Amino acid sequence: MADDLRAIPIQELKPLQDGRQWQLDQHLDGLPSLTPVRGRVRAVHRGNVLEVEGEASTIVTLCCDRCLQSFNQALSCRNRELIWLGEASRAEGVDEDVVLESAAQLLDLEADAFTESLDPNGDFDPAHWIFEQLHLLLPVVNHCGDLCPGPNLTGAGRQGSGQAAACGDSPDLGPIDPRWAALKQLAP
């Protein structure tokens, strides 16, 4: 059974020495996946930083940008991140660079591992954190693989001829829009 993945106030994490851990075995809002997202997330309050680590995997169905066919893509992440809880600390005059470097050394991470910040009086949402980690893995260009048949021109432009266009063939697209007629003159 999956733990409740609702956002938790960061202040509730503060007294927990080992932090809080969530097990995932469910679908996430905003990430339409074929299989439930399975994995875990752990968050530990460390003073001015929140240490978050987790791993998750799922399978999503994508549409190939070339042939427009659906294909399945496995997504799997394992990440560890320090989130700066410093807006209030910054107002109190705490030197952010000193805190970040000492926290990074303590946790054996690079100082530039801090990419986000949260309000220390706000909430940490484990479902949203996992969503972000998986969403960053989605390809910019969806391509179903090396055996992709390419664009399917049957019926589109051939007007029912039932023949696929061969490479280099120019499909019969009917009458040319007069606004584009000048481009036809440039064709070899």
pLDDT tens digits, 115-169: 677 888 889 999 999 999 999 999 999 999 888 888 865 544 434 444 444 434 4
Report if residue 154 sits inside a domain: no
DSSP structure class, residue 140: S
Under 8 Å between Cβ of 31 and 131: yes
Q: Out of 83-97, 117-131, 139-153, 171-185, which region has the weakest mean confidence (pLDDT)? A: 83-97
| Assigned token pair, 171 | 């499909």
Cα(111)–Cα(6) distance, integer angstroms: 29
Closest alpha carbon to 45 in 154, 121, 143, 115: 121
Report if residue 172 sits inside a domain: no
Report if residue 31 sits inside a domain: yes
Give, in order, the Cα–Cα distances in Å from 151 to each of 63, 66, 99, 164, 170. 13, 6, 54, 10, 13
Report if residue 78 sits inside a domain: yes
Position 100 confidence tier, pLDDT thresholds 50, 70, 90: low
Report if residue 183 sits inside a domain: no
Residue 45 sits in which domain range? Answer: 8-135
Task: Give me the number of domains the chain comprises.
Answer: 1
Position 180 confidence tier, pLDDT thresholds 50, 70, 90: confident
Cα(107)–Cα(187) distance, integer angstroms: 62
Report if residue 156 sits inside a domain: no
Which long-range contacts link 36-42 to residues 24+ away (Cβ below 8 Å)? 37/130, 37/134, 39/130, 41/126, 41/129, 41/130
Report if residue 141 sits inside a domain: no
Report if residue 146 sits inside a domain: no
